[in-house]
A and B are shown apart, each in its own frame.
Chain A
Amino acid sequence: MSSIANLSSQLEKLVGSDRVNTSEALLQTFAIAGRAPMAVLKPRTLEEVAEIVSFAAAEKLAVIACGGRTKLELGMPPQRYDLALDMIGLCQIAHYDAGDLTVSVDAGMPLMNLAMALAARKQFLPLAVPFSSTSTIGGAISSGVDSTLRMQYGTSRDFLIGAEFVDGTGRRCKSGGRVVKNVTGYDLHKLLIGSLGTLGVITRLNFRTYPLPELRGACTASFPGMEAALNFHDYLLKSGLPFSNLELFDPQFSGLLAGYSNQAGGSIPASLKENAWHVFASFEGIAGVMARVQRELQERCERAQAAHYETLDPQDSKRWSGALQESFDWLRSAAANVALLRIALPQWAPKDVAELHLVLKQSPLRSAFALRACNVAYLALLAEGEDAQTNAAMERCVSHVRSCVEAKDGSAALLYSPARLKDRINVWGTKRADFPLMQRVKRAFDPHNIFAPGRFVGDL
């Protein structure tokens, strides 16, 4: 490509001048880790996406598809970044068979709009992910971020039933379908989940939808120490009660959560004001189920000698569930310098949490820890300074935490961190033995390595 002007002119021929933008100010809003693309393209149709990718493949231009741009900080900085695909122009519901509880939606559809369309038919998608007011459905799937309803409804791999996408040769492909049970062909759409745009440009997603629950509720319980709180968390996990979310957090996390709520103008449950470990449980269903769960929770709290127990009213339940759903967002702005880790372990026994907190104690950094159901935890390392000494402490702490977790057959991914840290630490952690298989998958989908090169695990 001889010049940006030449590139711009070719792109304009491809999709029309109104769909190509090379203004510096706009390009900067699509920058990732300081690297901006040469042009932003806003396709109107699925065909245009395919044409752009074909062109990029022929010219060996690196492409990153963007939706609400809320999670561009995930992953490693791109090794190359020539074209940004702004997918928000593709935002229609292609099919909604409410009677079948299935929906097919363009990748650029904002999550909020989709939620409203489904709610009109008393349905919803159990994708309670962060940045819910600004994300697109394509971004939520491509980033693979956690849903706080995972305990009850599973991850998106449990309700994504098909997808359409453009592969690295510029051809429109599909996988799965629009029926809730289907084993025809390879399940390629599962590979797209959490792939951070490195396999293809997602253009349309098909989901199984769920009926909106009649009622939702929640409660909090506090304990003076970690072990009692974790035992209670475990006790509830094994109770057989149908929780939609079950989280445990340390006193620092509680403090930040209370601060976030305060800023948002809401009241703070009395228990959260305490310097204590907390367990938050949310649940949903018909009135009879709600009454039963609340009653049993109270009994169990009493048996476990919780320091404080509180059933939240519906408004507070909604607000606190929402605050936990958005924790990725507010944790990253809880200090000037933040590293946010997502940690998965085969199990979280008291000794595992204790060991982790021992590592944290050895660091000069502040931290906040929350354990979600399904053995996934979030750990934020917080510092006000951005000097070399603080950065070195952060790097050391991330490395220690990671070694501690990987020794237990777990994984620790750095969801968010200062760019400087990414220069020194791979956010995805140590490459696993199956990495060569992932390379094969990447080459099959994207033979010219044009999709978000270097952003994913092992620099894929």
Chain B
Amino acid sequence: MPARRGNYYSGDAAAFCRRPLMDQALIRELKSLLGPANVLSQKEDLMLYEFDGSVEKARPEVVVFPLSTEHVSGIVKLAAKYQVPVVGRGAGTGLSGGALARGGGVMIVFARMNRILEMDLENHRAVVQPGVVNLDITRAAEKAGLYFAPDPSSQKSCTIGGNVAENSGGPHTLAYGLTVNHVAALELVLPDGEIVRVGSRHGDTSGYDLCGLFVGSEGTLALVTEITVKLSRKAEAVKTLLAIFDAVADASRTVVEMTASGITPAACEMLDGWTLRAVEDYIHAGFPRDSAAVLLIEVEGLCEAVESQAAAIEEICKVNHARDVRTAKDNVERDLLWKGRRNAFGALGRLAPSNYVLDGVIPRSKLPEALEQIHATGEKHGFQIGNIFHAGDGNLHPIVLYDPRDTEQFKRAITAAEEIIRMCVALGGALTGEHGVGMEKNELMPLLFSDADFDLMRRIHDAFNPDSSLNPGKIFPLSKGCGEIRVRKSGQAAGDRP
């Protein structure tokens, strides 16, 4: 048996790096459990799993592909026996480093647990394995006029397991809520390998709302091996509007007024001029290249309600000097507009070797102020920062383009990002609206949470994951203890990022 490792999540940063190397006997036992084809341990294979959609990097020591819940339980038991950490991973599209093996160890990739186990269309439920791609649930349900509401931009590739871990959102979160609002029950594997179910198909059990706790816990409490999701009925009518503005401030004021007047569209997305031009060059979605900002607004419901809401929205846009408000005339035009929105990050990839997509939240009334401050931060650090985001719920996604090979530029990008997130908190917002804390923002958590908050979250963490064997180094700041938790001073870059 290898020597017992230290507790290497928050609370002991030094011990975090002190774990002994992977025991080869573990890899042999994993191959015996899963078959050699489901275990990767060569460096060149592992390198493929050291990234996700974030700017972070961490390499696992072995990657495994379970085919069943029993496999996952077996893997976790073996990892416990050899005292190595475990991290779950779906498609690796996350943007906060949640699916990176910060503590090394075993990475469980759920790609091969990708079956839809049951479609209960009568009762609007689907039972799926964690490796099922988000959009595939909707594809399986749409013949019955149903769909799975959470729609991250990466919905063609991200998995439901990842969505559950991060409590993912998407453009339509504005009206329909995050992943947690659409999950009824979970099957979990705890760090000791125990398999347990929480929640219920009808979603109404007596007792604490454990589903509500586990969804969004970023893989730090348990591994999710089966999910019962709620399916929603497609709206009778949908109208997609494109409001075009000559000033960003006019677009943001439109969002503020729309919210204040009680109009909640199904989605309300903003693209600033710089971003929409990059998107237009790539996608040709129909965004006017000479505009300063556009709002992509969607209303859904009964025909009568949609017509009335669309008219009210158009009125508010015009009062706020919209140059034009166009309505998608058919599904083809609607899909094209959404293609432009959903592929925007890809479009920006053509402009720089890398981009850093931030995820902060502000009260919606503070939108004009926040956009001004983001612009000022960009100027201060020498970046053109693009904005393409969920304006309706105040979920900002500023995008900083940078070259990771230029260490100095990368540090400036990180500093600018941190300043923007601090600004979100200062405006009364939060660190993350849908991407999770992960290893991207764990050191910023003390901006929002007190020592008492951390103590309680730590007790919850330890109640399920006492040895920090699941996804260590995430959510909690890596410092010696709550009393000594320190946030890096503004302007000081994270030391060891790639």
Contact = CB atoms under 8 A, between A and B. Distances in A.
A411 B125 CA distance: 18
A240 B232 CA distance: 10
Interface string B188-228: 00000000111011111111111011011100000000000
Given A184-B430, A187-B213, A190-B209, A171 B365 contact: no
A374 B263 CA distance: 26
A444 to B, nearest CB: 4
A134 B348 CA distance: 56
Given A184-B437, A185-B437, A191-B212, A428 B362 contact: no
Max count, chain A CB within 10 A of own CB: residue among B123, B215, B429, B453: B453
B456 A432 contact: no
Given A432-B207, A444-B460, A183 B123 contact: no
Interface in A151-172: 154, 157-158, 167, 169, 171-172
Interface string A421-445: 0000000110011111110111111
A256 to B, nearest CB: 24
Interface stretch (B272-280, B314-322, B444-452): B444-452
B130 interface: no
Given A188-B460, A345-B202, A292 B304 contact: yes
Given A434-B207, A437-B196, A101 B178 contact: no
A183 B167 contact: yes
Interface string B161-188: 0000011010001000110110000000
A154 B365 contact: no
Contact of A289 (B261, B302, B432): B302
A167 B455 CA distance: 10
Contacts of A436: 196
Contacts of B361: 177, 179, 181-182
B205 A100 contact: no
B495 interface: no
A177 B201 contact: no
A262 B180 CA distance: 42
A16 interface: no
Nearest to B233: A240
A288 B201 CA distance: 35
A385 B173 CA distance: 53
A273 B256 CA distance: 50
Interface stretch (B57-65, B100-108, B388-396, B409-417): B388-396
Interface string A131-163: 000000000000000000000001001100000
Contact of A437 (B198, B261, B365): B198
Given A183-B167, A191-B212, A445 B201 contact: no
B156 interface: no
A410 interface: yes
A411 B450 CA distance: 38
Contacts of B303: 292
A58 B233 CA distance: 52
A85 B450 CA distance: 25
B463 A187 contact: no
B15 interface: no
B302 A242 contact: yes
Contacts of B395: 181
Nearest to B393: A181
Contact of B393 (A180, A292, A375): A180
A210 B259 CA distance: 10
A442 B210 CA distance: 12
A410 B202 contact: yes
B464 A440 contact: yes
A350 interface: no
- Of all A-B residue pairs in the complex, the 4 with the closest CB atoms, nearest first, are A211-B262, A190-B212, A288-B304, A344-B204
Given A285-B305, A437-B210, A457-B206, 4 more contacts: A100-B394, A178-B363, A432-B205, A434-B198
Interface of B: 122-123, 125, 145, 166-167, 169, 173, 177-178, 180-181, 196-198, 200-210, 212-213, 215-217, 233, 236, 256, 259-264, 301-305, 307-308, 361-365, 390, 393-395, 428-437, 441, 445, 448-450, 452-453, 455-457, 459-464, 475
Interface of A: 97-102, 122-123, 154, 157-158, 167, 169, 171-175, 177-188, 190-191, 193-195, 199, 210-212, 240-242, 285-286, 288-289, 291-293, 344-347, 374-376, 409-411, 413, 428-429, 432-438, 440-445, 447, 456-458
